[in-house]
Amino acid sequence: MPTKVASLLDFIKSLLIISSIILLKLNVFQVQAQVSSTDTEQITPIIDNQLDVYLSFTLKDQENLEKTWSFLKEKATSQINAEIERIRLEEERKKTQEQLRQQTKTKLTKSENSNPQPVRITGDFESIIRLACNTYGCNPEQLIRVMYCESGGRSNAVNGVYSGLFQFHPNTFRANANRIGLTNADIWNPYHQIQVAAWMFANGQAWQWECK
């Protein structure tokens, strides 16, 4: 790009010099057309002399002209490079913004799909509840009633932030699971829910359920 600009500036410089000479010649022709032949013979040497002086001046001033054009080329090239850099940075900024927008969109999509309702697990939950109550010392019939009241016996039941057989809040489930050593307890695992609920009922926390 800068090389093309420099060539264009050199071409324009040549055109200006040629144009100046052509204009001077045209002026000569106009003067010659307006005077008589006798006057033409007298004035032609004067005009030719002035043209020689002009051309001599142009040649003598060539060095200054070259410096001027070199300055103009350098300035124009610098401005064009600055504009190219500005455009490049603007394109990079737009590209970065689009990448961030796509990343944010992907994260939101993953977030929306990160907690799908799990597949329902079926089993003889009543028998498991009786075994758990025998271990922890709670009333199995009461626990069975609460299970059906809270979830209808569906392991994947969801109501807002509450989930599972006993509709645990995640924080409540996690805290009490840790107390009985289920450090890797899964709130969607009905057998883990039964163990946590049985321990809580056996330790005076049945009040946390509305169902009785």
What is residue 196's predicted lDDT score, i.e. its pLDDT? 95
Whether the Cβ atoms of residue 129 and residue 194 lie closer than 8 Å to each other: yes
pLDDT digits (tens), the chain, 212 positions: 455 555 665 666 666 666 666 665 565 555 555 544 445 455 555 555 655 555 555 555 556 666 666 776 677 677 777 888 888 888 877 776 677 667 656 654 554 455 556 777 778 899 999 999 999 999 999 999 999 999 999 989 999 899 999 999 999 999 999 999 988 889 999 999 999 999 999 999 999 898 88
Please name the helix (run of DSSP H) or strand (run of DSSP E) that holds residue 160, with its range, or none: none
CB atoms near residue 138 (< 10 Å) = 20
- Write out the two tokens for 50: 């002035």
Whether the Cβ atoms of residue 177 and residue 108 lie closer than 8 Å to each other: no
Q: Which domains occur in the chain, in start order?
A: 2-112 (no CATH), 125-208 (1.10.530.10)
In this prediction the pTM is 0.47
Please give the backbone phi and psi of residue 167, each rounded to the nearest 5 degrees, phi first: 50, 55
